[in-house]
Amino acid sequence: MSEDQFPGWHGTTIIGVKKGSEVVIAGDGQVSLGQTVIKGTARKVRRLSPGGYDIVAGFAGSTADAFTLLERLEAKLEATPGQLARASVELAKDWRTDKYLQKLEAMLIVSDGTDIFVITGAGDVLEPEHDVTAIGSGGNYALAAGRALMDTDLSAEEVARKAMGIASDICVYTNGNLTVETIKQ
């Protein structure tokens, strides 16, 4: 989908925070078209349970594309139970090389409570250096705020919520209607 076909599609900020024995993935609920908020209560953070293993995933980008990727990730996890890193790399390889998947426009943050990864269509599986990562329209704002809050006594969830609050104050494509999922080691 090009910017010419659907000009001005914006929306979503997703943050992942790993602190102590927990990982939190939080996402806002706003979807915008140009200067119009189309929906303010979208749910972009999901809990998956492939093969009985608990995984949390947040997505930015096209919802249909993200759901396609989440289904593929679940299939990879069922084939490699308990191996999120391996399943993520396999998904990224498929996404990078498959002609159908190459057209998908989304990014994922995924965690099993131990590891946290960003998966992109460029074939990247990235593990954050500072235990905070963020994607989407307000991702850079949430990332900066989250990194600044990591040295405080706040829990992972409190860091994620405060960082998302800061992002929603700055980014017009991000709102304060959050979906928050926590997963522990």
pLDDT at 1 exceeding the cut of 50: no
* pLDDT of res. 10: 56
* pLDDT of res. 98: 80
101: DSSP letter: G
Count the residues in the chain.
185
Average confidence score pLDDT of the chain: 90
What is the set of domains in the chain, with CATH numbers? Answer: 9-171 (3.60.20.10)
CB 28 within 8 A of CB 174: yes
* pLDDT of res. 162: 98
pLDDT in tens, 51-105: 788 999 999 988 888 888 999 999 999 999 999 999 999 999 988 888 777 778 8
* pLDDT of res. 5: 46
The radius of gyration of the chain's CA atoms, rounded to the nearest angstrom, is 15
* pLDDT of res. 59: 94
State the distance between the two ends of the chain, measured CA to CA, in whole angstroms: 38
Give dist(CA 39, CA 42) in Å, integer.
6
Catalytic: 12? yes
Cβ burial 58-76 (10 Å sphere, 16+ → b, else e): bbbbbeebbebbbebbbeb
pLDDT in tens, 107-138: 899 999 999 999 988 889 999 999 999 999 99
The catalytic position among 12, 133, 174, 182 is 12
Cβ burial 125-158 (10 Å sphere, 16+ → b, else e): beebeebbbbbbbbbebbbbbbbebbeeebebbe
pLDDT at 24 exceeding the cut of 60: yes
